[in-house]
């Protein structure tokens, strides 16, 4: 078994998975009315209905 | 009361530029942006404040505003927050009213409005040191007595004076539930307010406070009735009758509120304020020069030129040290991984090459934010807004648009958020549309790379700074006519007056400036360690795979006389070209050919659409894949300087000609390459229509302008 290919595949896979998870989380945050920025802040300025 | 009752919420309220954010920092120990121009605080900021007796409360810093008559979205946030109408937030248990001690009457107008909400209050007379210098004497004991016994504290948050007294004041106000004396409404206005309360309750079944009734009666907007769910017909009928009642008392209903409050305050301040003969003269004298119609813009340009020249000059050596360190790490790691070439390439070419190329710009980012912080804290940035307003107000933008546009020079997202300070929704939309044109700090690394590699070495450091300033102006140059067309012909925005309060000049506080510089550096490094790190791994994988072993054999067979090094270089070049990234770049390259971009630049441009700073790390990877342990100092610059067209009519000529370098920089100056900015624009404009329009417009404009520029310059300087 080519261990080098497995390690490289795992690193690339983790990087891609992390990026996708991050973008999904940002989209979810935006949908909930949170800050659309990349700053990770929890600014939420939607007044009560 | 509990000694550590953090369930108590205290709101920090005040006019813009009263030192509210500085006081917030002093009270909570946290840091946030401390700016001198209005509208800097647009989001909720909170921290824990120790009241000095062990009791802890949550302190929230609300956006600065002049009146509770909410005209803009951030003013609406304050009125909603004070009334407890923000989702997930409770009504504040007390209010710390920050008042400019040098402008007591006007600042107390807001305090008098807030008093109507019936919350315990502390009055902080901030900038008392400046009031002293101006010869103003305030009898705080008498003022406290006249205001109903609320604690009145003299403070200078900037100097850290009076902060302990403010803490004690909060504890006193909370313990004694001390409220500021409310205005005595003339009988007919009071009756009109009672009518509104009763009508709203009858029609909606909801309890309406007197403070809410005042907003309904005196404000032209209908935000409060929306919240109550009061039908327009019933509301209009009730308010018409109530306003008619106000008119019978001799007041115009729209002007009654300030007239009554100011009369009330003038009576309260009788004997409280003694004015001396010393006036603020130094700021006015400096402003005569800095805001001069002709001298002002010239000095502004000189300051900006000096800023960028200093950034280049001061960052030169630290950048070299970082590059040296990165190369040393790369060589060491590469040599230790000779037995695993794939992993070696991933770590050395991909991760260290890509992230290292990005990190090399850290010194420039640090120095840039140091100078910007100094300019902001000194009070000059507000003057810059004034100069810009005078220069560009003809394009139809609201004067307040220049604050978000100035913020956009650091990052488009806070710029877009600060458009909430603009009352007119159309002007707000027009401003939000042009804010992404401002040259944000993410564009800086590509400008810096191109200037350092191609402009500086050929034309000298003077041109290096001039091109840098020029690139920061390109976006503005196109934003102004875009705004003109948008405001005049598409959105038809009515011109509105711009009121800008110029803060006094002051010595920047080293702690705040350094803290802000540190925050920006931390953000930059954290980006390098997270997003840039992950993207460079993906870019490396796309540039490395697939690896067909037969490619090497074919090249060896076709070049029997070539040296081992020569064959190796040809094999590496062939591998990169037939990688997924190479194939994709070559397929798309014809689209960017009129702009002078080869397939490697094309790959960089395409990879930068989610975040434009990715270009540097992508170029770092595409120019170093296969180079491994050969990397020398400033490798990326040298690789780019040596890059030549391999085929076609330009074969043998440098890829990075002056025309291509300028075209690439202008493309990055104008193109919409930031996912979070597009998402924020969609959020602020209430839909994806304007965000999509912005993306298409900016990207098309970038392509057209860069293509024209390249075609003209390549003909003039072939």
- The tens digit of pLDDT for each residue in B191-204 reads 999 999 999 889 88
Cβ-based neighbours of B328, under 8 Å, separated by 6 or more: none
Quick check: B87 and A36 CB within 8 A?
no
The SS3 call for residue B94 is strand
Q: In whole numbers, what is the pLDDT of chain B averaged over residues?
A: 83
For residue range B656-702, list pLDDT tens digits in order. Answer: 999 999 999 999 999 998 877 887 788 778 777 898 999 999 999 99
Q: Is pLDDT above 60 for B340?
A: yes
Q: Which residue of A has its CA nearest to B79?
A: A47
In this predicted structure, which of B269-273, B367-371, B404-408, B441-445 has the lowest mean pLDDT? B404-408
What's the average model confidence in pLDDT over B28-45?
A: 49
Q: Is pLDDT above 60 for B13?
A: yes
Q: B598 φ, ψ to 5°?
A: -85, -175
Residue pair B378/B508 in contact (Cβ under 8 Å)? The answer is yes
DSSP line for B96-119: EEEEETTSHHHHHHHHHHHHTT--
What's the average model confidence in pLDDT over B689-716?
A: 95
Task: Please indicate, yes or no, whether the overall pTM of this predicted structure exceeds 0.95.
Answer: no
Which pLDDT does position A30 carry in this prediction? Answer: 66
Let me know the angle formed at the C-alpha of B533 by B530 and B539, rounded to the nearest 5 degrees.
135
Highest mean pLDDT among A4-18, B41-55, B619-633, B670-684: A4-18
Cβ-based neighbours of B576, under 8 Å, separated by 6 or more: B543, B582, B622, B625, B626
CA distance B699 to A1: 47
- Residue B497 binned pLDDT confidence (cut-offs 50, 70, 90): low
- Tell me which residue in B346, B531, B676 faces A37 most closely, judged by beta carbons: B676
Name the pairing type of β-strands B45-50 and B94-100. Answer: unpaired
CA distance B27 to B714: 59
Which pLDDT does position B371 carry in this prediction? Answer: 86
Task: Indicate which of A29, A48, A49 best probes the interface with B, i.e. most B CBs within 10 Å of its own CB.
Answer: A48
By C-alpha distance, which of B571, B527, B565 is closest to B549?
B571
Long-range pairs, A1-4, Cβ under 8 A, ≥24: A4/B340, A4/B342, A4/B343
For residue range B366-399, list pLDDT tens digits in order. Answer: 887 888 888 888 888 778 877 877 666 777 776 6
Cβ-based neighbours of B440, under 8 Å, separated by 6 or more: B408, B409, B410, B411, B412, B674
Task: Indicate which of B676, B684, B688 best probes the interface with A, i.e. most A CBs within 10 Å of its own CB.
Answer: B676
Quick check: A48 and B541 CB within 8 A?
no
What's the average model confidence in pLDDT over B45-52?
A: 82
- Residue B221 binned pLDDT confidence (cut-offs 50, 70, 90): low
Quick check: A48 and B87 CB within 8 A?
yes
Tokens for B233? 């017909």
Q: B619 φ, ψ to 5°?
A: -60, -40
- Residue B5 binned pLDDT confidence (cut-offs 50, 70, 90): low
- Tell me which residue in B77, B346, B533 faces A45 most closely, judged by beta carbons: B77
Let me know the angle formed at the C-alpha of B451 by B448 and B453, rounded to the nearest 5 degrees.
100
- Tell me which residue in A19, A39, A48 faces B85 most closely, judged by beta carbons: A48
Q: How far is A36 from chain B (nearest CA, A)?
A: 5
What's the average model confidence in pLDDT over B164-175?
A: 92
CA distance B647 to B575: 17
Which pLDDT does position B313 carry in this prediction? Answer: 81
Quick check: B77 and A47 CB within 8 A?
yes
- Residue B261 binned pLDDT confidence (cut-offs 50, 70, 90): very high
Which of B699 and B528 is assigned the larger pLDDT? B699
Which residues of chain B make contact with A45, given a CB cutoff of 8 A? Answer: 43-44, 73, 77, 86
- Residue B169 binned pLDDT confidence (cut-offs 50, 70, 90): very high
Taking any CB pair shorter than 8 Å as contact, residues of chain B touching chain A are 43-44, 73, 76-77, 80, 85-88, 227, 340, 342-343, 346, 413-414, 417, 523, 531, 533-535, 537-538, 541, 611, 675-676, 679-680, 682-683
Which pLDDT does position B713 carry in this prediction? Answer: 95
Quick check: A4 and B227 CB within 8 A?
no
Size of interface A-B (CB pairs under 8 A): 78
C-beta atoms surrounding B258 within 10 Å? 15
- Tell me which residue in A4, A15, A22 faces B538 most closely, judged by beta carbons: A15
Which residues of chain A make contact with B79, given a CB cutoff of 8 A? Answer: none
Tokens for B67? 């009146």
Quick check: B534 and A45 CB within 8 A?
no
Q: How far is A43 from chain B (nearest CA, A)?
A: 6
Task: Indicate which of B30, B43, B79 best probes the interface with A, i.e. most A CBs within 10 Å of its own CB.
Answer: B43
Which residues of chain A make contact with B682, given a CB cutoff of 8 A? Answer: 36
Cβ-based neighbours of B598, under 8 Å, separated by 6 or more: B589, B643, B645, B655
Q: Is pLDDT above 80 for B636?
A: no
What's the average model confidence in pLDDT over B525-539?
A: 81
CA distance B625 to B629: 11
Per residue, the 3-state secondary structure of B432-465, as one string, reads: HHHHHHCCCHHHHHHHHHHHHHHHHHHHCHHHHH
CA distance B56 to B52: 8
What's the average model confidence in pLDDT over A2-6?
A: 89
Which pLDDT does position B399 carry in this prediction? Answer: 60
Helices B282-290, B295-336: crossing angle, 10 deg rounding: 80
Tokens for A3? 């261990």
Which pLDDT does position B450 carry in this prediction? Answer: 92
In this predicted structure, which of B84-88, B144-148, B251-255, B555-559 has the lowest mean pLDDT? B84-88
Quick check: A15 and B683 CB within 8 A?
no
C-beta atoms surrounding B526 within 10 Å? 12
Which residues of chain A make contact with B676, given a CB cutoff of 8 A? Answer: 26, 36-38
Residue B100, beta-bridge partner list: B126
Which pLDDT does position B496 carry in this prediction? Answer: 63
B492 burial level (CB within 10 Å; 0-12, 13-18, 19+) = exposed
CA distance B682 to B691: 5
- Tell me which residue in A12, A37, A46 faces B87 most closely, judged by beta carbons: A46
Can you say how many angstroms the Cα of residue B620 is from the centroid of all Cα atoms in its chain? 28
């Amino acid at each position: 078994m080519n261990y080098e290919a497995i390690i490289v595949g795992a690193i690339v896979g983790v990087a891609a998975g992390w990026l996708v998870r991050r973008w999904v989380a940002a989209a979810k945050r935006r949908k909930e009315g949170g800050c659309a920025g990349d700053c990770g802040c929890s600014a939420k300025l939607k007044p009560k209905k | 009361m509990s000694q550590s009752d953090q369930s108590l919420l205290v709101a920090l309220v005040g006019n813009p530029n009263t030192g509210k954010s500085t006081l917030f920092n002093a009270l909570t120990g946290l840091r946030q942006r401390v700016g001198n121009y209005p509208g800097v605080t647009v989001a909720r900021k909170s921290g824990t404040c120790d009241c000095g007796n062990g009791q802890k409360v949550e302190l929230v810093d609300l956006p600065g505003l002049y009146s509770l008559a909410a005209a803009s979205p951030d003013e609406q946030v304050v009125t909603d927050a004070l009334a407890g109408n923000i989702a997930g937030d409770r009504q504040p248990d007390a209010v710390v009213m920050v008042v400019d001690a040098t402008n007591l009457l006007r600042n107390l107008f807001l305090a008098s409005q807030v008093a109507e909400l019936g919350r315990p209050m502390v009055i902080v007379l901030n900038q008392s040191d400046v009031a002293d210098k101006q010869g103003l004497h305030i009898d705080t004991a008498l003022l406290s007595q006249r205001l109903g016994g609320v604690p009145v504290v003299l403070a200078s948050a900037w100097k850290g004076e009076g902060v302990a007294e403010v803490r004690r004041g909060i504890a006193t106000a909370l313990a004694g539930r001390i409220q500021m004396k409310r205005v005595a409404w003339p009988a007919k206005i009071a009756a009109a307010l009672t009518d509104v309360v009763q009508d709203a309750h009858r029609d909606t079944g909801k309890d309406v406070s007197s403070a809410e009734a005042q907003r309904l009666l005196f404000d032209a907007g209908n935000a409060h009735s929306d919240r109550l769910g009061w039908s327009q017909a019933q509301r209009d009928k009730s308010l018409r009758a109530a306003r008619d009642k106000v008119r019978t008392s001799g007041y115009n209903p729209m002007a009654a509120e300030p007239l009554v409050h100011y009369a009330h305050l003038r009576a309260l301040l009788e004997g409280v304020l003694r004015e001396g003969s010393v006036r603020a003269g130094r700021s006015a004298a400096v402003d005569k020069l800095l805001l001069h119609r002709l001298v002002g813009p010239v000095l502004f340009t000189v300051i900006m030129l000096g800023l960028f020249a200093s950034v280049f000059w001061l960052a030169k050596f630290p950048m070299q040290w970082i590059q040296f360190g990165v190369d040393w790490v790369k060589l060491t790691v590469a040599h230790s991984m000779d037995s695993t070439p794939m992993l070696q390439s991933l770590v050395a070419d991909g991760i260290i090459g890509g992230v290292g190329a990005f990190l090399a710009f850290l010194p420039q980012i640090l120095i840039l934010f140091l100078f910007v912080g100094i300019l902001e804290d000194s009070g000059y940035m507000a003057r810059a807004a004034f100069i810009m307003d005078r220069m560009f107000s003809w394009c139809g933008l609201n004067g307040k648009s220049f604050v978000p546009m100035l913020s956009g020079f650091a990052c488009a997202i806070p710029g877009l958020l600060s458009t909430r300070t603009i009352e007119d929704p159309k002007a707000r939309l027009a401003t939000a549309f042009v804010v992404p044109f401002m040259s944000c700090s993410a564009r800086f690394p590509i400008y810096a790379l191109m200037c350092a590699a191609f402009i500086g070495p050929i034309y000298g450091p003077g041109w290096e700074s001039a091109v840098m300033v020029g690139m920061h102006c390109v976006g503005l140059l196109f934003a102004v006519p875009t705004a003109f067309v948008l405001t005049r012909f598409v959105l038809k925005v009515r011109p509105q007056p711009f009121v800008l309060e110029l803060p006094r000049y002051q010595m920047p506080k080293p702690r705040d400036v350094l803290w802000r510089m540190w925050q920006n550096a931390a953000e930059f490094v954290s980006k390098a360690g997270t997003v840039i790190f992950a993207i460079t791994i993906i870019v490396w994988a796309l540039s490395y795979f697939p690896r067909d072993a037969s490619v090497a054999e074919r090249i060896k067979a076709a070049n029997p006389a070539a040296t081992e090094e020569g064959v190796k270089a040809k094999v590496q070049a062939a591998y990169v070209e037939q990688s997924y990234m190479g194939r994709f770049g070559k397929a798309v390259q014809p689209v960017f050919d009129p702009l002078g971009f080869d397939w490697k630049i094309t790959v960089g441009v395409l990879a930068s659409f989610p975040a434009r700073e990715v270009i540097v790390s992508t170029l770092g990877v595409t120019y170093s894949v296969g180079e491994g342990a050969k990397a020398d100092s400033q490798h990326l610059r040298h690789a780019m300087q040596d890059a030549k067209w391999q085929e076609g009519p330009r074969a043998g000529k440098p890829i990075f000609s002056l025309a291509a370098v300028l075209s690439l920089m202008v493309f990055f100056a104008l193109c919409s390459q930031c996912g979070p900015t597009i998402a924020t624009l969609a959020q602020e404009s209430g839909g994806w229509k304007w965000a999509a329009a912005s993306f298409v417009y900016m990207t098309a404009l970038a392509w057209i302008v860069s293509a024209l520029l390249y075609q003209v310059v390549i003909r003039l300087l072939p």
